Amino acid sequence: MAYFSQYRAKAAINRIGLGNYAVDTGSDLFDLLSNSNGYWNRQGNTPENITINVTKDITLPRTQPNIYPKIKNVNVNFQGHEFFVDNQNGSAIIIPPTSTVQVMISNLNTIYTYGTNWYFSAPPSSNRGNFGAYVATRMGLLFSSDSSETKSVISSNAQITYNNVTYIVPRDYRVNQPLSSYYIPINFIGNNHIENGVSGRALGGSVQHQS
């Protein structure tokens, strides 16, 4: 876990190859995944298959935008970094019931054992803002479902894959639900270690496969 004394980085989306991007803030990650700030409108073309490399620890904004419908396959590679959230009851990219998108979270590394869900040194979600954010959320890890549809929809052709995800947050916090994807199945590949402080239905999710 990185510690910050001052936030100096300038937010930017860097294209490092065809369909390959790098981000250093949560707001830029959300812009790539949902077009929330109009990135794809400005580009004029959206690749169906993209890889997003997260270059440092980030904080996800206090929003729940839908994933951009032109994206069909996306791998968010955290490269050993972690994310925090501005909203412990939100801060997620929503996958609607009709979506067929295939999303992957790779190389996420979250280890947090403190008694409170609030981490004072978390970076701002954009290049402006104050330090401090939540660690655990009730909305899964980055991607989740439309909560208004979870009672009527029981399956989806979309899929979330966890690839080499380490999430060790052994306390409850009442919102610690890293598998809360509901109607969207979760697939596991690589080596994954998920440890949290809740059990039973509170875990959420629809775990499909583990290897």
Q: Kindly list the domain boundaries of the chain, sorted by start residue.
A: 13-209
Residue 64 has pLDDT above 90, yes or no: yes
Residue type, 19: G
Write out pLDDT tens, residues 153-199: 778 899 999 999 999 999 988 888 898 888 899 999 999 999 987 76
Write out pLDDT tens, residues 77-119: 999 999 999 999 989 999 999 999 999 999 999 999 999 999 9
Write out pLDDT tens, residues 39-62: 999 998 999 999 999 999 999 999
How far apart CA 15 and CA 6 sit, in angstroms, is 26
pLDDT at 10: 52
Q: What is the pTM of this model?
A: 0.88
